[in-house]
Amino acid sequence: MENILHLPLFENKDLLFVISLIFGILIFATLLFFVVGKLKPKANLHELKTRTNSWWIMATLFVGTTMFNHIISYFAIGMLSFIAFRELYSILAFRESDRRAVFWAFVAIPIQYYLAYIGWYGAYIIFIPIVMFLFLPLRLVLKGDTAGIIRSMSVLHWVLMLTVFGLSHMAYLLSLPDLEGFANGGRGLLLFLVFLTEINDVMQFTWGKLLGKHKIIPKVSPNKTWEGFVGGLITTTAIGYFLGFLTPLSTVQVVLVSFMIAFSGFIGDIVMSSVKRDIGVKDTGSSIPGHGGILDRIDSLSYTAPIFFHLVYYMAY
Amino acid sequence: MQKLILQFLYSLLIRNFLKLFVGVKFQNAHFLIKEKQFIIVANHNSHLDTLTILASLPSKIILRVKPVAAQDHFGNTKFKEKLSNYFINTLLIQRKRDKENINNDPIHRMIKALDDGYSLILFPEGTRGAAEVQQPLKPGIGYVLSERPSVKYVPAFLRGMGKAMPKNDNLIVPHNSSLTYGVPTQIESTEVMEIVAQVERSINRLRDEL
């Protein structure tokens, strides 16, 4: 009983400060759009307001599920992988004969998160890149439908890598061993990663809207501009510098890691854009009002999570 | 008692299972409360279709809505028939018409259920087709509506269900899917084949809007 009521979060001033900052930004954005909407009734703020409302829900869900209970954190991030995997594979036109292999790919999700939970790094890091990589083609071969099998083999594993292996690095942050003199632990790292990734998305969007002129990769994503990209890089790196206390890294390392989050977040974003362009859809789903599907929101995370994790793992652990 | 069990089963358990696990996106079906009586007509690719439509209904009216199902599939034994009738609230009909024994005739049984005040869920394709493939409609819906022209039909379109659980496979593999309703509509003609064509157009329109 004592364990349940004991919430270490409220004793950690650093985490509490950043969480208050997140909700402070949301309150500010909500008030801003409300006031601008009153002053300039003609301004089209509907999409911004919908997006902000969705941010409220996402931020609350994220903080509620990852910052309190240890087991719930793994479960919640696992659910995120599950929903993202389901959303992405559903639009990729798999054959009916792929269903058994897809089923095993789903089974891999709880296994991967269990390995993260028990902190068995060696198994966790090879399970999807090696075990599932070798096993899924076998399951497809046993079914015997060879017309189009190469596509199924490659696409299925790619989806698994992106939505399960990549995102599960968020969960493994929580399994990293304690470092002496670093009290924020995995929660601090997770908060740093997610906050910077999402603020980078927002900043690239904002700078692009304010100053955007020169298209950066018009064939893939016509709305992305050099101004948005560079503005996001600078802002995110600066914010990362000030939030360095969440990590066990030195100042130089924090700046490097923040820069890499901003850079790889952009890559994840345009990779998913190119996939959507190939299929001919605008969004991968419609589960988050104003944002599209889950994947439209976490496409950058699927790139930033593994890169951030391995940088930190190399430099501090 | 049956009402409570069905409400618990569909509006709570199955609805959340479909939403969270399978990945079904439900459209709000609250507008059905205002309709006195209706026939939901939908495309058919999966056993999940019936469960999805039942789970989408406002729980208040769940006992008033009977899915029409094939006797030879859902009621081939007495035990199975009892289970279907209790837990899926089915109206079991045979596939072939029977002019001699009117109580066995599928059209007559549907009309009788309407006269008893029930609404129906009908899959006019008659059987589940291959995933995401629509078959031509059977004329039964036309016969029923031409006899009871005041009853409105509600077109519904189910997308992706045949991928989550296709015919000939009992393994459910999650797949994002959706259920979309059209507006309740009155038939424009009492000619059987014209009614069938109208219903088919309504379902296709829903599909094309997605």
From the list B131, B171, B176, which residue is nearest A90 (CB)?
B176
Q: Report the pLDDT averaged over residues A155-166.
A: 97
Instruction: Tell me if B69 sits within 8 A of B92, measured CB to CB.
Output: yes
Determine contact: A215 vs chain B, CB below 8 A.
no
State whether residue A96 sits within 8 Å of chain B by CB: yes
Name the residue with higher pLDDT: A48 or A111: A111
**What is each CA distance from A293 to A274, A280, A289, B89, in whole angstroms?**
16, 15, 8, 35
Coil vs helix vs strand at B155: strand
Scanning A73-92 for CB atoms below 8 A from B yields: 82-83, 86-87, 89-91
Question: Nearest Cβ partner of A106 from B160, B169, B174?
Answer: B174
Segment (H or E) for A17: helix A13-39
- As given in the structure block, the two tokens for residue A8 are 């270490």
Closest to A165 (Cα-Cα) out of A152, A156, A153, A176: A156
At residue A41 the predicted structure's pLDDT band, cuts being 50, 70 and 90, is confident
Banded model confidence at residue A3, pLDDT cuts 50, 70, 90: low
Q: CA–CA separation, B129 vs A92, rounded Å?
A: 21
Say which residues have a Cβ less than 8 Å from residue A5's Cβ, sequence separation at least 6: none
pLDDT at A5 exceeding the cut of 60:
no
Q: Is B65 helix (H, G, I), strand (E, B) or coil?
A: strand
Return d(Cα B63, Cα B24) in angstroms, integer: 22
Return d(Cα B187, Cα B201) in angstroms, integer.
12
The residue type at A311: L
Instruction: Kindly tell me the sign of the dihedral angle through the C-alpha atoms of B97, B102, B107, B113.
Output: negative
B25–A87 C-beta distance less than 8 A: no
CB contact under 8 A, B25 and A96: no
* Cα B143 to Cα A56: distance, rounded to the nearest angstrom: 52
CB A194, CB A213: distance < 8 Å: no
**pLDDT digit string, tens, across residues A58-82:** 999 999 999 888 899 999 999 999 9
> At which residue do the structure tokens 């893939």 appear?
A220
Q: Catalogue the E-assigned strands of A104-235.
A: none
Nearest CA in chain A to B168: A96
Of A87, A96, A103, the CB nearest to B176: A87
Among B27, B163, B167, B176, most A C-beta atoms within 10 A, so best to mutate, is B176
> Which residues in chain A have their CB less than 8 angstroms from residue B18's CB?
none
Measured CA to CA in angstroms, residue A248 lies from A178, A209, A234, A243 at distances of 10, 35, 22, 11
Please judge whether B23 and A100 are an interchain contact, meaning their C-beta atoms are less than 8 angstroms apart. no
Question: Quick one: how far is CA A120 from the chain centroid?
Answer: 22
Closest-CA distance of chain A to residue B157, Å? 17
Residue A24: the pLDDT is 96
Domains detected in chain B? 2-209 (3.40.1130.10)
Which chain B residues are within 8 Å of A286, Cβ to Cβ?
25
B120 to chain A nearest CA, in Å? 30
pLDDT exceeds 50 at position B119: yes
- Looking at the complex, report in whole angstroms how far the Cα of residue B176 sits from the nearest Cα belonging to chain A: 6
Residue B152: the pLDDT is 95
Question: Are B193 and B141 within 8 A, CB to CB?
Answer: no
CA distance linking residue A149 with residue A141, whole number of Å: 8
Q: Which residues contact B61 (CB under 8 A, 6 or more apart)?
A: B32, B33, B119
Residues of A in contact with B173 (CB under 8 A): 99, 102-103, 106
Tokens representing residue A84 in the block: 């993202």
| Per-residue confidence (pLDDT) for residue A9, from 0 to 100 | 66
| Residue-wise pLDDT tens digits, B125-163 | 988 888 778 888 999 999 999 999 999 999 999 999 999
What's the whole-number mean pLDDT along residues A103-124?
98
* B117 pLDDT above the threshold of 90: yes
What pLDDT, in 10s, does the model give residues A173-204? Answer: 999 999 988 989 999 999 999 999 999 999 99
Question: What is the pLDDT at residue A288?
Answer: 85
* B14/B54 Cα distance (integer angstroms): 9
Q: Which of B131, B171, B175 sits opposite A90 (nearest CB)?
A: B175
- Please answer yes or no on whether B173 and A96 come within 8 Å at the CB atom: no
Q: Is the pLDDT of residue A4 over 60?
A: no
The pLDDT, as a whole number, for residue A16 is: 92
Classify residue A142 as exposed, middle or buried by CB count within 10 Å of its CB (0-12, 13-18, 19+). Answer: exposed
Please state, in angstroms and as integers, the Cα–Cα distance from residue B130 to each residue in A4, B52, B102, B134, B161, following that order. 50, 18, 33, 8, 11
pTM of model > 0.95: no
Beta strand ranges found along A155-249 (DSSP E): none
Confidence of residue A8 (pLDDT cuts 50, 70, 90): low
Amino acid at A204: Q
Q: What value does the mean pLDDT take over residues A258-271? A: 96
CA distance to partner chain B, nearest, from residue A294 (Å)? 12
Nearest to A265 by CA among A212, A207, A195, A210: A195
Task: Determine the pLDDT at residue A1.
Answer: 44
**Coil, helix or strand for B119?**
strand
In the predicted model, is pLDDT for residue A6 greater than 80? no
Question: Does the distance separating the beta carbons of B23 and A86 come in below 8 Å?
Answer: yes
Q: What is the pLDDT of residue A46?
A: 87
Q: Do B163 and A287 touch (CB under 8 A)?
A: no
| Tens of pLDDT, residues B45-60 | 999 999 999 999 999 9
Cβ contacts (< 8 Å) between A145 and chain B: which residues? none
Q: Ranked by mean pLDDT, which of A49-53, A162-166, B82-86 comes out on top?
A: A162-166
**Candidate from B23, B173, B176 with C-beta closest to A99:** B173
> Which residues of chain B from 89 to 108 reach within 8 Å of chain A, CB to CB?
none
A282 touches chain B (CB under 8 A): no
**Burial class of residue B39, CB neighbours in 10 A (0-12, 13-18, 19+):** buried
Encode pLDDT of B27-38 as tens digits. 999 999 999 899
Cα–Cα distance, B146 to A26 (Å, whole number): 57
Q: How far apart are CA A258 and CA A196, in angstroms?
A: 7
Token pair for residue B168? 């000939």
Partner-chain contact B173 A83, CB within 8 Å: no
Tokens (6 digits) for B108: 């007559």
